[in-house]
Amino acid sequence: MIPHLPYAERGQGPTIILVPGLDGTALLFYRQVPILARRFHVLTFPLPDDSTCTMDSLVEDLRQLVEDAVGQKGHERLILCGESFGGALSLSFAVAYPRLLLGLVIVNSFPVIRRRIRLNLAPRLLKLVPWGAMPFVRRFTESRLHSPHTLPVDLAEFHERTRSIGRQGYIRRLEILQQYDIRGQLQRIRTPTLLLAGDLDHLVPSVREARFMASRLPNATVRILKGYGHICLINHDFSLLDHIAPWLENMTG
């Protein structure tokens, strides 16, 4: 476990930690951070570029970050917002440390990867591909990742920021997902959970998975993101705050 994960913070109010997806950089939250900071104390952090980490070790890293970042506020409970792989990590954290959480926001995520053949092949193939070629690979997969109306300027920003993805950590996170299956533990998560799912997500069947999780989570709300694909947080017209604020107000009364 890494004793002290680096993190960045912005804004004041209830604390929300944005948990990055498979890229692990947290750089793709660039559009959402200033919006959320109007109301929240927003924390972002990179996942370790580590070939030996496990889901359990990442959960413990996140627990340490929580203690480092919000321990000074006493016993404040916080919101975790995880996208894709970050949603899987957030759900795993909620099983282990429910008392630390006020709420969960899960964006385009899943309780298990059902297409096992692709997942099992991906790490092997990536170990063979020169890492410098990955920007070109991502351009060929854009139709599966992005919303149809994503602006060219946002696509350019996406490609620039994903250059910082570390090879070891990215491949290791794919390997972690090979073992990840939280379906049997969902009923243990009593933390209020907002499930956001893009109806044009061609990478993960996000709507189906959100509804599956909601049928097992005791306190879940599903919101369908119409017209959005898997990577929706970079879109010029998307605001996490518009979804989280009313849900939080309804939850806390």
The reply to whether 113 falls in a domain is yes
CB burial string 215-243: b at 16+ within 10 A, e below: ebbeebbbeebeebbbbbbbbeebebbeb
Distance CA 25, CA 161 (A): 8
pLDDT range class, residue 3, cuts 50, 70, 90? very low
The reply to whether 1 falls in a domain is no
User: Which phi and psi (to 5°) does residue 76 adopt?
Assistant: -65, 135
pLDDT range class, residue 75, cuts 50, 70, 90? low
User: The domain that contains 78 carries what CATH number?
Assistant: 3.40.50.1820
The reply to whether 73 falls in a domain is yes
The reply to whether 242 falls in a domain is yes
Residue 48 CB neighbours (<10 A): 21
Distance CA 207, CA 111 (A): 12
> Average model confidence (pLDDT) for the chain?
89
The H or E element spanning position 127 is helix 116-128
pLDDT range class, residue 1, cuts 50, 70, 90? very low
Distance CA 17, CA 40 (A): 10
Coil, strand, or helix at residue 150? Answer: coil
Give the per-residue pLDDT at 167.
Answer: 87
Give the per-residue pLDDT at 134.
Answer: 67
Please check the confidence at residue 162 and state whether its pLDDT lies above 60.
yes
Give the per-residue pLDDT at 7.
Answer: 81
User: Which phi and psi (to 5°) does residue 149 adopt?
Assistant: -100, 15
pLDDT digit string, tens, across residues 8-59 = 899 999 999 999 999 999 999 999 999 999 999 999 999 999 989 999 999 9
Compute the average pLDDT of residues 235-242. Answer: 96
Please check the confidence at residue 71 and state whether its pLDDT lies above 90.
no
Q: How far is CA 126 from CA 85, 167, 209, in A?
A: 17, 9, 26
Give the per-residue pLDDT at 5.
Answer: 63
Q: Are 167 and 25 in contact (CB under 8 A)?
A: no
The reply to whether 3 falls in a domain is no
Distance CA 180, CA 183 (A): 9
- Side chain identity at 21, as an amino acid letter? G
The reply to whether 2 falls in a domain is no
How many separate helices (H) and strands (E) can be counted in the chain? 10, 7
pLDDT digit string, tens, across residues 174-183 = 999 999 999 9
The reply to whether 135 falls in a domain is yes
Number of domains the chain is built from:
1
Instruction: Look up the domain containing 57 and give its range.
Output: 8-252
Hey, which of 105-109, 112-116, 139-143, 147-151 has the most confident mean pLDDT? 105-109
Please check the confidence at residue 173 and state whether its pLDDT lies above 80.
yes
